[in-house]
Amino acid sequence: MALSGQQRDQTERRVRAAIDRLLAGQIPPGGACDVKTLAREAGISRASLYRTWGHLKDEFEKRRAAAWAAGRQPDPREARIARLRDLNQRITSKLARTHTELTQLKERHQLLLSVLAAKDDEIQRLRRELSTSATALDQRQGTNSEASFPCPAADATPQ
């Protein structure tokens, strides 16, 4: 069934009015700023919008893209999705940086533990050397290490 000129004009006005409403941010409940909602708001089928009113569909998509490029987002859901995607990307990047930093800190911790263990081993070795040197020195002097350092409790005689 062919449309009369008046019906075509009326339908075109409805589609243009729906375009203006959607791009102004007047999104109906359960709808979005998309072709499907445009057809529903204009009162025509989506197939008809694609076949008969394709030039208006293209105009809608161009104006919607221009609004996006200008920083306006007519559909609050899409704006929220874009914000959440951006937030997700920033958090993911921060998590990756934190993971890298944690890995570096763990490696540094292991290195420092190794250095600390080596220093402890060196201290133990030096103590043994000192003890061995003191014993050898005492033996060369002919004294024993206990006599070199008298203990006051040992010298006291009980009465």
CA dihedral sign of residues 143, 144, 146, 149:
positive
pLDDT at 123: 96
pLDDT at 154: 47
Torsion (CA) 87, 92, 97, 98 in degrees, nearest 10: 100
| pLDDT, position 61 | 93
Task: Between 44 and 146, name the one with better pLDDT.
Answer: 44
Give pLDDT, residue 18: 94
- Residue 75 pLDDT level (bands cut at 50, 70, 90): confident
**Tokens 């609004």, residue?**
67
The residue with greater pLDDT, 108 or 159, is 108
126-158 burial: b if 16+ Cβ within 10 Å, else e: eeeeeeeeeeeeeeeeeeeeeeeeeeeeeeeee
Determine the average pLDDT of the residues in 60-85: 85
How many Cβ atoms from other residues are within 10 Å of residue 38's Cβ?
26
Tokens of 29: 């409940």
